Amino acid sequence: MEQVLVQVLNLKKHFKDRKRGKVEAVKGISFEAHSGEIFGLLGPNGAGKTTALRMLATILKPTDGTATIAGYDVVTDPDEARRSLGFLSNDTGLYHRLTAREMIVYFGKLYKMTDDVIKQRLDELCEMLDMSEFFNRRCGKLSSGQKQKVSISRTIIHDPPVLILDEPTTGLDVLASRNIVSSIRNARDKGKCVILSTHIMGEAERICDRIGIIHDGIITAIGTVEELFDRFDARELETVFLRAVGETA
């Protein structure tokens, strides 16, 4: 039976801006995601996707509302919530002087994993993401696709039940994107809960089990692709999105 691993209820985040005053980046979103599921947050840049994910990853503290990761509240029990998730940000860099292997080992040690467990996970990740060719190469010498594989590896080295991935294929070529998507599906098939942020319609339609459409800090629709097609009387996700945000399609 699928287990609810991410639960979000009326989550809000407001910022203070000198010029604009109070900025409501996330205005009260609610959803849940389950084990063995890829839940997509689909929306344009500035819609609130990244802010929402950073609250779930305990990087930002919510202004209001609640969220739990594997049963742990992100505000009252952030340490346990962090141990239960892997967060891939779209703007997190790598240490260029470390090799890919050293980078992943470093994060394993941050999670207080034993050397034996780290070695086992290194072998698994190297095979899963096809990294043997560059595993001992410095991160500064890697291609964009190779760097993204290292970033994903450090995100999942501790084998968490929840993965939060912010635009994981942005800027990658077709082959690199396909490899990353394959690894995401593999995580889902192993029973992980994957929260995937994207603005790419085709990507969301291909790999997400359910999709939440977010616009201007609000989730305007949630469902499977077919449910969204039926609800908005459309056969293309782009049309669904436009109608869900109140635009003419």
pLDDT at 42: 93
Neighbours of 110 (CB within 10 A): 11
The CATH number of the domain holding residue 200 is 3.40.50.300
* Per-residue pLDDT reduced to its tens digit, 2-51: 899 999 999 999 998 878 778 899 999 999 999 999 999 999 888 999 99
Q: Would 209 be classed as within a structural domain?
A: yes
Structure tokens, 158: 């501790």
> Which residues share a beta bridge with 8?
31, 67
Neighbours of 10 (CB within 10 A): 13
Percent of all residues in the chain with a pLDDT value above 90, rounded to a whole number: 77
Q: How many domains does the chain have?
A: 1
- Is the pLDDT at 92 greater than 70? The verdict is no
pTM reported for the whole predicted model? 0.91
Residue span of the structural domain in which 156 resides: 4-244
Spatial neighbors of 204 by CB under 8 A, at least 6 apart, are 40, 42, 196, 198, 211, 237
Q: Would 107 be classed as within a structural domain?
A: yes
Q: Would 249 be classed as within a structural domain?
A: no
* Per-residue pLDDT reduced to its tens digit, 224-240: 999 999 999 999 999 99
* Per-residue pLDDT reduced to its tens digit, 54-66: 999 999 999 999 9
pLDDT at 91: 67
Report, as an integer, the average pLDDT of 117-143: 93
Report, as an integer, the average pLDDT of 93-111: 94
- Is the pLDDT at 102 greater than 90? The verdict is yes
Sheet holding 72-73, edge to edge: 21-34, 4-17, 64-69, 72-73
Percent of all residues in the chain with a pLDDT value above 70, rounded to a whole number: 98
Q: Would 180 be classed as within a structural domain?
A: yes
Structure tokens, 172: 């990658």
* Identity of the amino acid at 197: S
Report, as an integer, the average pLDDT of 101-106: 96
Reported as a pLDDT band with limits 50, 70 and 90, residue 144 is confident
**Of the ranges 78-92, 114-128, 151-165, which one carries the lowest mean pLDDT score?**
78-92
Q: Would 33 be classed as within a structural domain?
A: yes
Spatial neighbors of 154 by CB under 8 A, at least 6 apart, are 103, 104, 106, 107
Task: Give 45-78 as a 3 state SS string.
Answer: CCCCHHHHHHHHCCCCCCCEEEEEECCEECCCCH
Q: What angle do CA 144, 188, 195 make, to 5 degrees?
A: 70
Q: Would 179 be classed as within a structural domain?
A: yes
* Per-residue pLDDT reduced to its tens digit, 169-195: 887 888 888 888 998 999 999 999 999
Distance CA 232, CA 153 (A): 38
